Amino acid sequence: MEKLFFCTHWGSEQLEWAHFLRKVKEEGYDGVEISLPADPAVQKKMTRALDDLDLKLIAVHWDTVSPDFKLHRQEMESRLLAIARTKPMFITSHTGKDHFSFEQNVALLSLAREISDKTGVPIVHETHRGKFSFAAHITQAYLEKLPWLQLTLDISHWFAVAESYLEDQAPAVDLALSRTAHIHSRIGFTQGPQVCDPREPEWAEALDHHLKYWDKAVGMQEKIKSSVFTFTAEFGPYPYMVSKRADAPAHQWTLNNYMKDLLKTRYYAT
């Protein structure tokens, strides 16, 4: 199974696009994960630059936020169709709201599937606070209802929501791992979605818990002979980074490169 490693654009928005892509290429990533602008002309220019450097694209949908369900659905449909025009490898979507009903969130997930079928672009749904998938035990019900539902696993959010490493929720977590198509490799802990620095010894326990779950997800995909598995190093800027340190962009870049290199070493041999 091929493993591909992506760099988040989140936190590097201040960089000129071509300069950012050169950094990504030089650091050995296979592509970028980004929330694209709506303007088709700008999209085309950005994707052309990716192609020029042989970098792959994962598009992010996060910006449908209306609390009114009817408007939310309309905005989500419009946004996903606009992103799908760029023909990314897939879209990772922040779908629904934690306060929408189960039926409303199922309707949004089903809408995403219809758009995926229509455009030919896979859409996977991120485990994230504030969304339909904000906790392991809540997400379990959606996975049981929708056998086609695939996840972008950012388990750091679940650790923070549950204030645990989910040792007592094995059935829900195992089901989620079996449906994981993509991993956001940020390290969180029981009180927040991002540690200060995963290289420091005080965060070894948190890192080990993430690696244990990621190993299992990768192993499950290898067992069913998936052709490719993807990771995005996704340590974020302030306020995920808990202080506005002067070297914040450089520190974020270093942490994400550390995660990429750690996982390349861990998984390239398998």
For residue 213, the enclosing domain spans 2-267
Residue 264 CB coordination number (10 Å):
15
Per-residue pLDDT of the chain (270 residues; tens, 9 = 90+): 999 999 999 999 999 999 999 999 999 999 999 999 989 999 999 999 999 999 999 999 999 999 999 999 999 999 999 999 999 999 999 999 999 999 999 999 999 999 999 999 999 999 999 999 999 999 999 999 999 999 999 999 999 999 999 999 999 999 999 999 999 999 999 999 999 999 999 999 999 999 999 999 999 999 999 999 999 999 999 999 988 888 999 999 999 999 999 999 999 854
Q: Report which of 186, 84, 54, 79 is spatially closest to residue 127, judged by C-alpha positions.
A: 186
Contact between 67 and 8 (Cβ < 8 Å): no
Rounded (5°) CA angle 254-255-258: 85
How does pLDDT run across 15-31, given as a tens digit for each residue? 999 999 999 999 999 99
| pLDDT at residue 170, as a whole number | 98
Residues 190, 161: Cα–Cα separation, whole Å: 8
Residue 95 CB coordination number (10 Å):
26
| pLDDT at residue 166, as a whole number | 98
**Measured in Å, how far apart are the chain's first and last C-alpha atoms?**
8
Count structural domains, the chain.
1
How does pLDDT run across 112-160, given as a tens digit for each residue? 999 999 999 999 999 999 999 999 999 999 999 999 999 999 999 999 9
Beta strands in the chain (DSSP E): 2-8, 31-34, 56-61, 90-93, 123-126, 151-153, 180-184, 228-233
Run of H or E residues at 22 = helix 17-27
Q: Indicate which CATH number applies to the domain containing 162.
A: 3.20.20.150
